Each structure stands twice: as C-alpha cells, then as structure tokens.
Chains A and B, each alone.
Chain A
Amino acid sequence: MDTVVRNTEHLRRKLLRLCAMVEENARRAVLAFRSRDRYAAVEIIKADEDVNLMEIAIEENCISLLNAASRDVEDTRLIVAALRINSDLERIGDLATNIARRVLHMGQSEQVLIPQELSTLANRTLEMLSNALDAFVDLDTEMAQRVCERDQEVDRLNRQMYDLVQERILADPAQTEKLISYLSVSRYLERIADYATNIAENVVFISEGNIIRHRNGDVFPPAP
C-alpha cells in the first residue's frame, strides 16, 4: 500500500514537471511569435522532444500503476486523470511547436505587432492554461470550474480574429500571407485553451469523481 502511495506521488510529480515544461513552451511560443524570435522558435521545437519523451514515460508509469494490485478509488481516479491530462499536455506542447514553426515561416525583418484581438486571445489562453495547471496543483475544483467557463470567451475571440483577417485580406491582399499566419496562430491558441479546459475538467474528476465533460456543449466547437 505504501509503495502505491509513493508511486502515485511520484507520478504526480512527473506530471507536474510535464506541466511546467508545457506551460513554459506555450508561453515561449507566444513570446517568440510576438517578437518574431526565430532563435527562440527553434529552441521551442527542440524542447518539445523532451515533452514527448516525458509523455511516454508518464503513460508507461500510469499503466504499470494500473497493473499494481492494491489501490483505492481515489488513486485509480488520479491515474486515469493523469493519463488524460498527460495526453492533453502533450497536445498543448505540439500546438506550441506549431506556433513556433509559424514564427520560422514568417519574415524576421518585418517589424510588425500583432492585432489587439490576437494579443488578448493569447493572454486569455495562457491565463487559462496557467489557472488550469494551478487548479491541478491544488486540486482546486472552484478554479477548475472557472477555467471551464472562460473557454467560451476564447472561442469568441477566435471567431473575431477570423472576421478581422477576412476583412483585412479584402482590404489589402498583399498582406494575405501574414494574416493567414495570424489566423493559424489564433486557431492553435484556441485549441490550447480547449485542452486547458480538458485539464480543468479532469481536476474536477480527480477530486469529486464527477465527469463534467460535454456538459457545456461540445468541447471542440466547429471551426468558424
């Protein structure tokens, strides 16, 4: 019994490390996108390899814990939630990499600041991610619930970006390529927010055993 407790603690720590890695990558990706920092973008893409390795290690850890003999319900719940959070984090890592790849494709010399809507979207997404992970650290279901509620705002901002890009392309077709990049990044951020919501839902699952997925409609609303 004691070793199971120690092992779940060990698993939790590993998962928290992955949280740190992924959150950092997401933040770095947004910063790199803002400052068009190609060097940072390359670093982020490299760092994602660590994220992937960690994800596999955690998954194996979860499976071996699920095979272990004695567990109580709460441990099982933690392990199941860990599996889910693990894959959510890995996907967020991938999306951060995608943003970094976008930075590589965008011109470096261009000194352009991103539109206000995208900037807000990025801030909201990073806040949601940060709050979701905080909720996981403290198993704070209230905070987790709040994260879930904020997803709609990010969805709305993403739709606004779509309208804005459309408008600007029509106004100045020469900027199409840049604007399309904005739109992609907006999409990536919106999906990061979705995964943050998933993590928050799993926090509720760990502490209360309630599955709150699919209550507020589809987790992934159709792309605009």
Chain B
Amino acid sequence: MRKKKLFWQLYVSNFLVILLALFAFSLLTSFSFKNILLDQVSEDLIARAAIMRNDVLRVWRQGDIASLRRHCSVLGRESQTRITLIRADGLVLVDTWHDPGTMDNHRNRPEVRPALEGRRATFTRYSNTIEMNTMYAAIPLREGERVTGVLRTAVLLETVEDSIAGLQLQIVLGGFVIALFAGVMSYLISRRIRRPIDALKQGARRFADGDLDFRMPVPNSEELSDLAVVMNTMAAQLQQRLLQITQQHSEQDAVLSSMLEGVIAFDMDERLINVNRSGARLLRIDLEKARGKTIQEVVRNIGLQRFVEDTLASGEAREGYITLVDDVERFLQVHGSILRDAQREPIGVVVVMNDYTALRNLENVRREFVANVSHELKTPITSIKGFVETLLDGAINDREDAVRFLGIVSRQADRLNAIIEDLLSLSRIEQGSEQEQIELTTGSVFDVLQSAMQACQVEAEAKGIGLRIDCAMELRAVMNAPLLEQAVVNLINNAIKYSDTGLSVRISGEAIDGGQVGIAVRDEGYGIEPEHLPRLFERFYRIDKARSRTMGGTGLGLAIVKHIVQAHHGSIDVQSVPGKGSTFSIVLPGIAGHTATDVPSWDAVAGTDPREE
C-alpha cells in the first residue's frame, strides 16, 4: 500500500475539523436564532393582544358587533395582525381575515382552550382557514372573574421563516468563505510544518548516500531541532566509525600485502573472498577477475583444493604441505584456519602459504654436493685401500707387482690431493668473493695469458697440441693476476684434454665494447652437446664420467673458473659445436668501473683465514 504523505494527512484532517466545527456552529446558530425569533414573535403577539384587550373589551361591552368588527379590522390592519374574537362558548365573533360566519367553533383550538381557562397561550400550526403556517396567541377576556371570551392574535410565519432562511443562507455563505479561508490557511500551516521535515528527509538521504560530511540545518521547532541534532550527531559518529574501519582495513591491507607469505580466503561455498599480493603471485590469480569464483575455477591445484576442503570439513586449524607445479615445482607449507563471524559461526577458511622452495633447493644443492664430494673422494680411497691391502696380503713380496701397485696408489693419492686442492681453492675463492676480500688491480692481460700458456706447455707438447696467443701487449684489465691465470690454465687444460693430437688451441685477449676485456680459449676438439651446456659449470658435473676420470679431471675445474670470474665481477659463456670444437669466453668489466683498493691481498687472506686451519 502506498503510504500517505504527512502533508496530506495534516492538511485534510485540519481542514475536516474546521469544516465540521463550522457546520455544527452554523446549525446551532440558525436553530437558536429561529427559537429566539419565534419566542419574540409569540411574546409580541401576546403583547399586542394585551394592548388591544381593554380597547376591544370596551367596544365589545357596547354590544354592537358591527362596530366591534370595524374596530378590530382597523386594529388588525394597523398592527398587521389577524385578530380573532371568540366567545366563551367557542363561537367566532370577529375575524379580521375571514368571515366569522364561515368559521367553525373554535373552542377546541389548542391556543383557545387554555385561554378559556384563563391562561395565555401561543401555538404554531397550520391554519386551515388561511392555509398557511400561522402563529397564534390567545389571551382571555374577563368580566370580573369570569372569562367571557378570548382575544386571539395571529401572524403568518411566512415572514419569520423567510428571514430565518435568509439568515441561514448568510451563515452558509459566510461558512463557505470561512471554509475557503481555512483551507488556504491549513494548507499554508501544513506546508510550514512539512518544510523542515522535508529538509530533514533530504539530509537523512544524503547521510544514507554516504555524504557524512553534510550537516542538517536545525529547524525552529523543538522536536524537529532535537531530531536534526540527533541525526547530525549520528552522522558524525558514523563518519568517525567509518574512518576507523577504513583505517583498520587499510592497515590490514598493508600488512597483508606486504607479507611474504601468501594469504588466501574462501567462504563456506569455497568461493574466493580475498587473496593478498604474494598469494596472487604464487597462485597466479587476478583478484579482480577471480573474486567470488570457486576455488576449482581459481586455483588449478588439487593439493590446495583438497586442503581447503578438508579444513572446511574438519572445522579446525590444519597444517599441510602442497606442491605447485608450474614450469618449476614450488613447495608450500600451508596453514588453514576457519574464519568466524562475530557470533563465532564459521564463514570460511583462510590459508597462509609459506614458500620454502628456495630453502628446499638449497638443501638439495647441499645434499647433492655432499653426496658428490663423498663419491669423488671415495673412488681413489677405495682404490688406494684395495692396492695397499693387496700389498699387505703378500703382493709386496713380488717386486714388479709392488712397484706397479704403489704407482697406482701414488696416482690415486695425487688425484685425491688434486680434488682436495680444488675444493680448498674453490672455497677460498667463494669466501673471498663473498667478503669482497679479493684484491683487484690493473694488470697486463698478455702477461697472464702468457704465464698460463707456459704452465700448460708440457702437457700440450706431450699431446702434440699447439698453443697460440693472440693478444695485444698493452691490453690491461682489472684483475687478480694469480686467480685469473688459474682460470685460464684450467680452460687451456680442458681444451688440451678434449682435443685430438695435432690440433691447436688459441688463446685470445681483446678489448670489447664499453671498455670491457674479453678473454677466450678456443679449441678444435670434440665439442659439447648443447643439452649439457647449461649445467657445465656446476661442481662435479661431467658429460661423460668415465672419460673424464681417465683424463684425471676432478670435476671442479670449470666450477673454479666460474667462481674466479664471478670474483672479478665478470661473466663466462661457452659456445660449442659437437665435433667442431668449443670456445670459452670470459668478459671482465672495464677499468673505469674499478679502482685498486686497499683490502688485504688474496694471499694474505688465504693465509689468515681461520676457517682454513
């Protein structure tokens, strides 16, 4: 049902009350006015009769009916009154408007009878004689104590009624005008009442629309002004509360989004409520697109789906581990808790995801390294142990075998030594470069290449491989000369190892763009399959284990090269075509980027490193 407007309610009721009052008032007025008028008329009639009584009596006593009639008609004409003279027995003697001869006995007329008994009386009735509403007044005529007749005066009520009707018309007209006036007035009053209410309504609407800065004008009337003040206070409090909530919300938001852990929340229907930045990145979710969607749509990971489902089903906090499989695997530790509303009713689940992939990878690297080192160390030791036991078991007595076995033992011991040496230098370089303790000075590249070549000369000649340097004498670079030489030696040694007899190895140094210095070792050997290239510089990575060991490699040579280059803030790259040969290129940063520093020299560091002892 449509609600009535307050304005119309006010206006209509106001107006109706006024109309009703007006109606009642005019009814009352015209009624009492009529009464007063009739009373007056009847008193007037009696008074006229009384005035005329003595006069009429005097003429009547003379006994001449004809002069009585004349006298009466004069009196009647002058006073505009019908005058009737009735004898005590009811016979009409005189009547000024009619012929008494035609009139019947009036003894029983209601106004006459009391008069015959000696009382004055008035009566209003319809006159049969003149066929009109007539008011009669009758008074007794006495001779001494005896009533001898009745003097009746009468007027037509027509004139009275006319004036009453005129009066009533005036009252109605006046009432109508007053009603019209009242209508306008009550309209104006209603509007006056309504206007501040409308203002309040509009203000409340602005509050509802969120415009809490708005303040309502305070109207004059006490009740409404109280209301306005209360509403203004309410708005101010709401604003305060809202501000607080917004602030809390943005604080929470800031906390959530700065968290490294992913946080994601779902409702009871497993639909996404929210996810923080880390979580979105981890699960590859676009929050704007995904909000309200089911977990099955948003997170295509069965582990998390099951975890959320289980947490919701169990209704209590849980912990678990899930794996995200993308291009790589990501390992997440997940904590699920039930979200509850103010009534402690569960409304969803929040999952905190901790990515421990990096930790796990590190752990894997460590484990792999330990396993590799153990394996690499165990091989020569097993061999040494085996031959020594054979010698102890009696082979020592066979001199030829003994010498051969001891030779093997010696070679294996050398190998063991080489591996340990390499490991030690690797760890030294690593530590030195981590602590920025490797001294870099400007030196001649040619000198380094030349001494590296000289160091490998013997092995090269043994295999009939020619070494050639291609480098400008004046080329200089920021370097640690002994380390750089070791790196180049390792590369040259590899090149010799993996080349057939009679081929050549070229060592080059040149200035390249941006002041950088490039050093390359190029062979024409077996080359490397492309799938090996990405892992080539890993510790103990071997393309062909058997072949590598027979050539006396430790599996650490290229790892050492990489670490030395990193200590120089340079980079290393390899290009290779199977069957055609490989090129290892080192790029050292330009001179401008570095200045000689006063940090302790590499040798000093190596000598004083406590970890080494």
A binds B: yes
Q: Which residues of the partner chain B approach A137 to less than 8 Å between Cβ atoms?
A: 297, 300
Contact A24/B301 with A112-B531, A113-B532 known, Cβ cut-off 8 Å: yes
The closest CB in chain B to the CB of A16 belongs to B296
Can you list, as one digit per residue, whether each of A95-121 has a CB less than 8 Å from chain B (1) or not (0)?
A: 000000000000000011111100000
Contact A113 B535 (CB under 8 A): yes
Query: C-beta contact mask, B522-533 vs A, less than 8 Å → 1, else 0?
Result: 000000001110
Instruction: Compute how far the CA of A27 lies from the CA of B326 in the bound complex, rounded to whole angstroms.
Output: 7
A-chain residues with CB within 8 Å of residue B302 when the two chains form the complex: 17, 20-21, 24
Interface residues of B in 276-333 (CB under 8 A from A): 294, 296-297, 299-303, 305, 325-329
B300 contacts across to A, CB distance below 8 A: 16, 19-20, 23-24, 133, 137
B530 & A16 in contact (Cβ 8 Å cutoff): no
Q: How far is the CB of B38 from chain A (nearest CB, A)?
A: 83
Per-residue CB contact flags for chain B residues 517-561 toward chain A (1 = under 8 Å, else 0) read 000000000000011101100000110000000000000000000
Which one of B294, B296, B541 contacts A111 once the chains associate, using CB atoms below 8 Å?
A: B541
A16 neighbours in B (Cβ, 8 Å): 294, 296-297, 300
Measured between alpha carbons, how far is A112 from B535 in the docked complex, in Å?
Answer: 10
CA distance A137 to B532 in the complex (A): 39
Measured between alpha carbons, how far is A138 from B542 in the docked complex, in Å? Answer: 47
Question: Given A16-B294, A17-B302, A113-B532: A24 and B325 within 8 A (CB)?
Answer: yes
Bound-state CA distance A61–B259 (Å) is 42
* Alpha-carbon distance between A13 and B299 when the two chains are bound, in angstroms: 12
Residues of chain A within 8 A of B328, CB atoms compared: 31
Q: Does A28 contact B (CB under 8 A)?
A: yes
On chain A, the residues within 8 Å of B542 by CB distance are 111
> Which residues of the other chain, B, contact A23 by a CB distance below 8 angstroms?
300
Interface residues on B, range: 20 to 34
Give A35's nearest chain B residue, CB to CB: B329
Q: Give Cα distance in the complex from A74 to B391, angstroms.
A: 86
Residues of B within 8 A of A17 (CB): 296, 302, 305
The answer for the CA separation of A39 and B123 in the assembled complex, in Å, is 132
**In the complex the two chains form, is A13's CB within 8 Å of B301's CB?**
no
- Contact across chains for B296 and A114 when beta carbons are under 8 A apart: no
User: Which of B305, B326, B531, B541 lies in contact with A115, CB distance below 8 A?
Assistant: B531
How many Å lie between the Cα of A137 and that of B300 in the bound state?
10
A200 to chain B, nearest CB (A): 16
Instruction: Give the CA-CA distance A27 to B300 in the complex, in Å.
Output: 12
B301 contacts across to A, CB distance below 8 A: 20, 24
Return chain B residues, CB-CB under 8 Å to A112: 531-532
Q: Contacts A112-B531, A113-B534 known; A31 to B296 CB distance under 8 Å? A: no
**Which residue of B is nearest A14, CB measured?**
B296
Q: In the complex the two chains form, what is the Cα distance from A137 to B329 in whole Å?
A: 23
Rounded to whole Å, the gap between the CB of B310 and the closest CB of chain A is 14
Collect the chain A residues with CB atoms within 8 Å of residue B530's CB.
115-116
Given contacts A28-B325, A111-B541, A116-B530, contact A20 B535 (CB under 8 A): no
Closest to A23 in B: B300
Question: Which residue, of A13, A27, A111, A138, has the highest number of chain B Cβ atoms within 10 A?
Answer: A111
Q: Which residues of B contact A116 (CB under 8 A)?
A: 530-531
Cα of A138 to Cα of B290 in the assembled complex, Å: 10
Q: Which of B294, B329, B532, B535 contacts A31 (CB 8 A)?
A: B329
Which residues of A, 1-52, contact B by the 8 Å Cβ criterion? Answer: 12-13, 16-17, 19-21, 23-24, 27-28, 31
- With both beta carbons as reference points, the residue of chain B lying nearest to A19 in the complex is identified as B300
Would you give the shortest CB distance from B363 to chain A, in whole angstroms?
Answer: 16
Nearest Cβ in chain B — how far from A50, in angstroms? 8
Distance between Cα atoms of A137 and B297 in the complex (Å): 6
A13 touches B531 (CB 8 A): no
Bound form: Cα–Cα A116–B531 in Å: 7
CB B492 to nearest CB in A, in angstroms, measures: 25
User: For B535, what are the chain A residues with a Cβ–Cβ distance below 8 Å?
Assistant: 111, 113
On chain B, the residues within 8 Å of A138 by CB distance are 297
Task: Report the nearest B residue to A127, measured CB to CB.
Answer: B327
CA A12 to CA B329, docked complex, whole Å: 27
Q: How far is the CA of A72 from the CA of B535 in the complex (A)?
A: 58
Set B326, B327, B531: member contacting A113, Cβ < 8 A: B531
**Of B305, B326, B327, B329, the contact of A20 (CB 8 Å cutoff):** B305
Known: A17-B305, A113-B532. A31 touches B325 (CB 8 A): yes
Q: How far is the CA of A31 from the CA of B302 in the complex (A)?
A: 17
Query: Which residues does chain A contribute within 8 Å of B531, judged by CB atoms?
Result: 112-116
A17 to B329 Cα, complex, angstroms: 19
With most chain A CB atoms within 10 A of its CB, the pick from B300, B303, B531, B532 is: B300
CB distance from B360 to the nearest CB of A (A): 14
Report whether A13 and B541 are in contact in the complex, using a CB–CB cutoff of 8 Å.
no
Separation in Å of the A36 CB from the closest CB of chain B? Answer: 12
Whole-angstrom CA separation of A115 from B329 in the bound complex: 21
Residues of B within 8 A of A114 (CB): 531
Min distance, Cβ A192 to any Cβ of chain B, angstroms = 15
Instruction: Give the Cβ gap from B153 to chain A, nearest Cβ, in Å.
Output: 97
For residues 54 through 83 of chain A, which have their beta carbon under 8 Å from a beta carbon of chain B? none
> How far, in angstroms, from A32 to B173 measured CA to CA in the complex?
108
Report the separation of the CA atoms of residues A24 and B302 in the bound assembly, to the nearest whole angstrom.
8
CB B3 to nearest CB in A, in angstroms, measures: 35
Q: How far is the CA of A111 from the CA of B533 in the complex (A)?
A: 12
Chain A minimum-CB-distance residue to B301: A20
The residue of chain A having its C-beta at the shortest distance from the C-beta of B329 within the complex is A31
CA gap between A111 and B534 in the complex, in Å: 12
- Min C-beta distance of B175 to chain A, whole Å: 66
Whether the pair A20, B296 counts as a contact (CB closer than 8 A) is yes
Shortest distance between the CB of A128 and any CB in chain B (Å): 14
**Which B residues are CB-close (under 8 A) to A113?**
531-532, 534-535
Q: How far is the CA of A17 from the CA of B308 in the complex (A)?
A: 13
A224 vs B299: C-alpha distance in the bound complex, in angstroms?
37
**Chain A, residue nearest B300 (CB):** A20
Which A residues touch B296, using CB under 8 A? 12-13, 16-17, 19-20
A204 to B326, CA, bound (A): 26
Centre residue among B301, B302, B303, B326 by max chain A CB count within 10 A: B302
Residues of chain B with a CB closer than 8 A to A12's CB = 296
Chain B contacts of A115 at CB under 8 A? 530-531
Give the top 6 A-B pairs by smallest Cβ distance, nearest first: A113-B531, A16-B296, A27-B325, A20-B300, A20-B302, A21-B302
- A13-B296, A24-B302, A111-B535 given; name 5 further pairs at CB < 8 Å: A19-B300, A23-B300, A24-B300, A27-B326, A138-B297
A contacts, CB < 8 Å to B? 12-13, 16-17, 19-21, 23-24, 27-28, 31, 111-116, 123, 133, 137-138
A-B residue pairs in contact (CB < 8 Å), sample of 10: A23-B300, A27-B326, A31-B325, A31-B328, A31-B329, A113-B534, A114-B531, A115-B531, A116-B531, A138-B297
